[in-house]
């Protein structure tokens, strides 16, 4: 059984604005099929932007463990959904994160949670990639971090250039990943089955 999440302050005002938007689009917000739509959309938007209420650094700190392991740790194929801040249309794909510990590791699920937190904000893919890297870097102080994000953008598929099969890839790295050999090791491991 799933329970409804707690919604943030402003839900009713948000729903009222969506009701106005329906009218401005030429719809009748009072018709049966649309009667509950403003509140549904307001709730959906609060869920899709819940990352504003979360501290990604704290998530990592909650599962910080002293460990002498100093080889690459990779969490790949982390599914995410986000909203582009330019059109408020979805972009979605996979994030791949690697870090080389420097005395401390974090719970593997916490890496996925960091991706989730930053993707649940109005975003651009480039900034999201940087934010994930910086969060891990600033909290774990590893020897290096690398993040690769691959995504499809509905703002390119549904409108504008309408290119259905385009994929955008962004990456950011620091520390040991400044060496081409280390980046290549990550990419080889990323594409291995």
Which residues form the catalytic set?
84-87, 125, 153, 155
Give a three-class secondary structure readout of the chain.
CCCCCCCCCCHHHHHHHHHHHHHHCCCCCCCCCCCCHHHHHHHHHHHHCHHHHCCHHHHHHCCEEECCCCCCEEEEEEEEEEEECCCCCEEEEEEEEEEECCCEEECHHHHHHHHHHHHCCEECHHHHHHHHHHHHHHHHCCCEEEEEEEEEEHHHHCCCCCCCCCCEEEEEEEEHHHCHHHHHHHHHHHHCC
């Amino acid at each position: 059984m799933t329970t409804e999440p707690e919604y943030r302050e402003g839900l009713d005002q948000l729903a009222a604005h969506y009701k106005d938007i329906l009218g401005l689009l030429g719809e009748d917000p009072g018709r049966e099929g649309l009667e509950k739509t403003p509140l549904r959309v307001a709730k959906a938007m609060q869920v899709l932007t819940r990352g504003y209420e979360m501290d990604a650094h704290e998530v990592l700190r909650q599962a910080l463990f002293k460990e002498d392991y100093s080889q690459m740790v990779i969490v790949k194929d982390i599914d995410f959904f986000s909203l582009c801040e330019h059109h408020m249309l979805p972009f979605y794909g996979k994030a791949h994160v690697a870090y080389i510990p420097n005395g401390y590791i974090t719970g593997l699920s916490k890496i996925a949670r960091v991706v989730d937190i930053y993707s649940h904000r109005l975003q651009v893919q480039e900034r999201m990639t940087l934010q994930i890297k910086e969060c891990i870097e600033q909290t774990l102080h590893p020897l290096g971090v690398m993040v690769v994000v691959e995504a499809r953008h509905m703002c390119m598929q549904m409108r504008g250039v309408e290119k259905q099969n385009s994929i955008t890839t962004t990456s950011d790295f620091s520390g040991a990943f400044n060496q081409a050999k280390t980046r290549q090791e990550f990419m080889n491991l990323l594409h291995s089955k």
